Amino acid sequence: MKRGCHPRRRILVTGGAGFIGSHLCERLLAAGHDILCVDNFYTGSRDNIAHLLGHPRFELLRHDITFPLYVEVDEIYNLACPASPVHYQNDPVQTTKTSVHGSINMLGLARRTRAKILLASTSEVYGDPEVHPQREDYWGRVNPIGPRACYDEGKRCAETLFFDYHRQHALRIKVARIFNTYGPRMHPDDGRVVSNFIMQALTGTPITLYGDGGQTRSFCYVDDLVDGLIRLMDSPDACIGPVNLGNPEECSVRELAERILALTGSASALTFKPLPEDDPRQRCPDIALARQMLGWQPATGLEDGLARTIAYFRAACAAAPPESHQ
């Protein structure tokens, strides 16, 4: 059956009120499916899915996936987990439990309902890599006891669980390794580099760079990322992954700051602080597998994506009470 011609499905999106999850819910709903959005609102927001709440095929359930969930579904996108260092380091034990206990619960649900299930894993499984760009067959270089380990090792264990359920129970699984993603509905205080720089530029405060700003990242616009997730879910059962989803165009953090300053017209100065512990020096995906198996690659250039994201933050700042800009 051609892509886009699939029958109507009941789809569970955990973390569906989050940044990426809300865009995914919106896209799946537009494709004609019934969507069950599950979120405990630790980092997600009702504002992200407010425009979907009145839709007859959209249902919102407040629930923490570290506890079992008993529903009937055809597919599961497991996105639930805080993804920025500020949020996942705030309660590291809960972060690990969300990746591990949450995965066990969602895999159990998939096994009972015979649903296909996708894990939103992360490029952080590669740690501070010795291989560049990162390919899916690289096992990574992760500090298992550092401050980022709750997220890095939690996702690595989640991948282990997914593959063991596939081998032991013939479960239909998909594993996506998501690289840096940005766009509208990012949380302004999530500590991620794009949202940090945009908010600092718009408020005229100094833009904070860590180290000399020479560390590199790659930035994928959220619409492109969501397209990759859906293509992976809709791919043949033999296409399991893990599959890198990200933008292979590399950019230094300092260059990103300079681009945002130019696009906002801000006069914010650059300030420099020491690098955080275990902060990777390079992060860039090899997406040859995604191109080959999914026919996928990013379509949105950085300038265009940043302009859309800046417009979103400008509107959010204008609508917020003055004290919230402090």
Backbone angles phi, psi at 155, to 5 degrees: -70, -35
The two structure tokens encoding residue 98: 């969300």
pLDDT at 321: 61
Q: Which of 77, 88, 151, 182 is catalytic?
A: 151
pLDDT at 191: 79
- Evaluate whether 309 touches 182 at the Cβ level (below 8 Å): yes
Told to judge if 70 belongs to the known catalytic residues of this protein, a careful annotator would answer no
* Residues 229, 24: Cα–Cα separation, whole Å: 8
What 8-state DSSP symbol labels residue 77?
Answer: E
pLDDT at 278: 61
pLDDT at 324: 46
**C-alpha distances out from residue 276 to 86, 198, 210, 215, 279, Å:** 12, 20, 7, 12, 6
Continuous H helices in the chain: 19-30, 46-49, 85-88, 92-113, 149-169, 193-203, 222-234, 253-264, 288-294, 302-319
The structural domains of the chain, ordered by start, are 10-182+221-247+283-299 (3.40.50.720)
How many residues appear in the chain? 326
For 269-303, b where at least 16 C-beta lie within 10 A, e where not — what string?
eeeeeeeeebebebbbbbbebbeebbebbbebebe
The mean pLDDT values, 10 residues at a time, for the chain of 326 residues are 65 97 98 97 94 97 97 98 80 93 98 98 92 92 91 95 98 97 91 91 92 89 98 96 96 94 94 77 92 97 96 87 48
* Residues 31, 6: Cα–Cα separation, whole Å: 9
